[in-house]
Structure 1
Amino acid sequence: MKYKVSILLAFLGFFAQAQEQLTLKDAVNYALQNKAEAVKARLDVENSEYQIDEVRASALPQISANGGLTYNAIIQKSAVPGEFFGQGDGIVMIPFGLPWQTNAAVSLNQQLFNQAVFTGLKAAKTTREFYKINAQLTEEQVIEKVANSYYEAYKTDSQIKTIDKTIANTTRVRDVIKSLFDNGLAKKIDLDRTEVALNNLKGTRQQLVNALQLQENALKYLIGMDMNQDIELPNNTFEVTKHALVDESVTIENRTEIQLLEKQTELLTLNKKAIEAQGYPSLSMNATYGYLGFGEKLPWFQTLPNAAWSNFSSIGLNLNIPIFNGGSVKAKVKQAQVALDRLEADKRDVRLGLDMSLKNAITQLNNSLITLNIQKENVNLAKEVLDNIENNYKFGLATLTDLLDAETQYADAQNNHTNALLDYKVAEIQLIKAKGALKSLTEE
């Protein structure tokens, strides 16, 4: 019994994973967690913290230890006048040093004033903020791609449902005509024409099924989902939502692109200051403490008379005052200013483009809503026409051609309504993007 329960639970778990209903919110959140672009953007933010640590380290004390061991196989001799040793005018060669020499020391270096280091620290912190904004922009780009792909797949799925209804209706008409034909009340050509129409619908349906499979695979790739995972789109995706309603107070100032450009301006300004700092004086302190050991033999663990030890220490200040560098710093500063001027030109162009996108998004949404209402009205009218012609056909007051045309027109009206819904949802995405509120799609 225990094994049967385990097998049943395993089967139910597999069945639960076999097909997953995927809402737009789920798709977007899944992409933000798994898609490579979003993951790498988050890693850039994490890496910026390490960059700050690296720059901060240059402003902290730098402590190092070093040691060495030297064996002087041949001790260098120095020439000394012989008179110093009572040997007249001759020259005496005297060795200085011992065969073994060792040393160990600890050094410290501390920047007391270095404008380039302090400016670099500010730049590193600004870089962190830049990467955070860039990560937000990357997420918005991922959301936009996922939403457009999601709606495209949903449109095809809706077209399949529409054609399924048309096939069911045409099959019902075919059955009626076949019954009439069997009783000698309909022509064989009418039955054959209905069969041809039905086969064409089935062929079109298969093409839509293939297209949907490709679109679903593209959607899975965009969100980073396993290709073997089956998904199902909910029925309420194509709805007119309220969060896209136009607000006259909407501006482009909260767009991530603007924030990113402003942060780039800060970075370029700090870069210019860092270059200017190369012409400023710098002051640092250094200190050293260590030991020297000498002996006829290895002096380690030895004392007099076998080895002699001496400690040493030094403390100093290093002042560096740039006087003349050929004008290289001045040239670099001008280049940095040119980069700032180029960015200002880009900012003006981006603002103009974003303002145009906002105006176009508002116009497109309003036009799409008008078209959507018209197509909805057309669907209702086409359905009424189809019902009337179908009734007339049963009583011999309409031809089969009229009936098939009415079915085609009704199916076309439904597909046009679906296309209008897609256009509306795409326009909705563009308006949400223009308002700088794409993240709201993760909270629906």
Structure 2
Amino acid sequence: MSNPGEHMRQFPITLFYVLSTAGYILAQPAATVKLNLHDAEALALQNHPQVQAAQHEVSAMNQRIDETKAAYYPALSGDVTGSQANPRARIGAGFLTDPSLFNRLGQGITLSQLITDSGRTPNLVATSRLQAGAAEQTVQATKYDVLVRVNQAYFGTLRAEALVKVAQQTVAARQLLVDQITALYKNGLRAELDVSFVDVNLSQAKLLLLQAEDQVQGAYAELTRSLGSQQAATYQLEDEPLPPSPPPNPEDLVAQALTGRPELASLQLSRDAAYRFERAEKDLSYPTASLVGVGGALPYIAQLSLPRVTPHEYEGIAVNVEIPILNGGLFKARRQEAHYRALEADQRLRNEVESIVRDVRTAWASSTVAYQRLDVTAQLLRQANLAQQLAQGRYDLRLSNIVELTQSLLNVTEAAIENLNAKYDYQSQYATLQYTIGALR
């Protein structure tokens, strides 16, 4: 028989083991994931919840087509009815006639079939098909949204990692300079002011490194989110070649965007669906013809006299034509509402066209400037390196002071940062340009 006291003594040990194991798991470094841009895009399209949600929306809209098409087919239902009433009773309220009540038990089936509703059902089916098509285009638009975020996060991560390398090189170079100036100061060849200046520069470089490392972690988190994942990871990314220069004129891109953007296709289909639904609402004012058939058995019925004269089986068929006359203006209001919804869809489409034209021109201008920055920042870096070498030589010959040297070092760091920013900015801007014209694959 187990001892409760022994169990109580073992509980803290077990709890400590569980907490220690959990702490060990949480303390493990995030996995390193090797990726290139193509793999990152494929992962995002496969895993991102927005893409999956849009795909489920398409599946739901396809079911709506079947829902509206159901009116084309007969409806069959079965019934079993048993009733009991006081003898010779009739229903006195709620009906225009006074039907008799009988104790009875019966079962049967009812068949109903729409003959025509003056075109309303075909218009509703067409509306559903157009809405499903719009949902399919929305899936493609969602994929484009995911892809452009992946591209931006990917190049943002590459930029952050490159900035860390620049910061590390800057810290190493300035640490070496501090060591050299300190040694010269100890030998009486440099002033204490020189040591103070290079110490300040070293501290600035260390701050730059801390900021760069923080940006890398933020970039990793953003890339993880864009991939449709929540698992923490560090990334080893492959650098991508620079894309070609943007075209000299944006107008061809505008024309391409107006035919290639899935958002426009989705809104066009939604607009067409709105007009078909307006026609369907108009059809409410026209006659509807339907067929109804019944059949079954009545094994028991309590008659007032014998022998029984009510047949044991029953069957019947009827055609009903319903002609709307007055309903308080309901159908007119529904038709007008559908008309205004269609006009609204027209304006939403127009607004999207204007937004896309603006986005293309803005993205083209930004990518053009970003492309021009590549040569400018490369030249800036070359000039900064040359100026730093000259400043170092002048300082070694005691022809200049420490301020000139430290300023040249700062210029080199800033130029290196501008140069890497220009590279990854252009790659990101070019991806955005491809997105705006519907060419991001």
Q: TM-score, normalised by structure 1?
A: 0.80
Letter in 2 for 1:283: A
Q: Secondary structure of the equivalent of 1:437?
A: coil
Q: How does 1:269-418 map to 2 (within 5 A)?
A: 269-294=275-300, 310-418=312-420
1:39 paired with 2:42, answer no
Structure-2 residue corresponding to 1:105: 108
Does 2:61 correspond to 1:48?
A: yes
Q: Distance in 1 between matches of 2:34 and 2:176?
A: 31
Task: Please give the alpha-carbon distance, in whole angstroms, between the structure 1 residues aligned to 2:301 and 2:51.
Answer: 65
Q: Does 1:139 pair with 2:143?
A: yes
Q: Does the 8 Å CA contact 2:171/2:202 hold for their aligned counterparts?
A: yes
Q: Which residue of 2 aligns with 1:60?
A: 73
Residues 334 and 295 of structure 1: CA distance in aligned 2, closer, same or farther (over 3 Å): closer
SS in 1 for 2:293: strand
Structure 2 residue aligned with 1:76: 87
Q: Equivalent residues in 2 for 1:101-250 (5 A)?
A: 101-114=104-117, 115-234=119-238, 236-237=239-240, 239-242=241-244, 245=247, 249-250=252-253
CA distances 1:294-317 after superposition (whole Å, capped 9, x unpaired)? 279xxxxxxxx99x9711111221
Change over 3 Å in CA distance of 1:52–1:212 after alignment to 2? same
Counterpart residue number, 1:21: 34
- With over 3 angstroms needed to count, the CA separation of the structure-2 counterparts of 1:334 and 1:407, relative to structure 1, is same
Name the SS for the 2:312 alignment partner: strand
1:294–1:309 contact (8 Å) kept in structure 2: no
Q: Which runs of 5+ in 1 are unaligned?
A: 1-14, 80-95, 297-304
Equivalent-residue separation in structure 1 for 2:286 and 2:88 (angstroms): 47
Residue type of the partner of 2:32? Q
**Relative to 1, partners in 2 of residues 1:361 and 1:214: Cα closer, same or farther, differing over 3 Å?**
closer
Q: Which residue of 2 aligns with 1:86?
A: none
Distance of 1:342 and 1:78 partners within structure 2: 58
Q: 1:253 aligns with which of 253, 258, 264?
A: 258
Distance 1:259 1:77, change over 3 A: closer
1: CA distance, partners of 2:65 / 2:166:
58
How far 1:393 moved relative to its partner? 3.2
- Aligned equivalents of 2:150, 2:178: Cα separation in 1: 41
TM-score (norm 2): 0.80
> Once superposed, what is the RMSD of the aligned Cα atoms?
3.0
Displacement of 1:216 in angstroms is 2.0
Bigger mean CA deviation after superposition, 46-55 or 26-35: 26-35
Q: Is the 8 A contact 1:98 1:294 kept in 2?
A: no
Contact 2:154 2:223 in 1 (8 A): yes
Q: Secondary structure at the match of 2:242?
A: coil
1:20 offset after TM fit, Å? 0.6
Structure 1, 286-295 or 336-345: larger mean CA deviation? 336-345
The residue type equivalent to 1:169 in the other structure is A
Q: Aligned with 1:224: secondary structure?
A: coil
1:184, distance to aligned residue in structure 2 (A): 4.1
Contact 1:156 1:211 in 2 (8 A): yes
Give the Cα separation in 2 of the matches to 1:281 and 1:386: 90
Q: What are the Cα deviations for residues 176-219 of structure 1, in whole angstroms up to 9, with x where unaligned?
A: 33443454433344234323321221122112212321232133
Count of residues in correspondence between the two structures: 395
Q: Give the structure 2 partner of residue 5 of structure 1.
A: none
8 A Cα contact 2:296 2:314, kept in partner: yes
1:295-348 CA deviation, whole Å, 9 max, x = no partner?
79xxxxxxxx99x97111112212122234454433433332233233333333
Distance (Å, rounded) in 2 between the aligned partners of 1:292 and 1:270: 47
8 Å CA contact 1:19, 1:229 repeated in 2: yes
Partners of 1:144 and 1:261 lie apart in 2 by: 21
Do 2:65 and 2:128's aligned partners in 1 also have CA atoms closer than 8 Å? yes
Whichever residue aligns with residue 20 of structure 1, its letter is V
Q: Which digits, 9 at most, give the CA deviation of each residue in 1:131-186, with x for residues without a partner?
A: 11112222222223333333333332222211111112112222333443454433
* Residue equivalent to 1:300: none
Q: Distance in 1 between matches of 2:385 and 2:174?
A: 14
Letter in 2 for 1:370: Q
Question: CA separation in 1, counterparts of 2:29 and 2:320?
Answer: 71
SS in 2 for 1:253: helix
Q: Considering only CA atoms, is the larger Rg found in Structure 1 or Structure 2?
A: 1
| One-letter amino acid matched to 1:409 | N
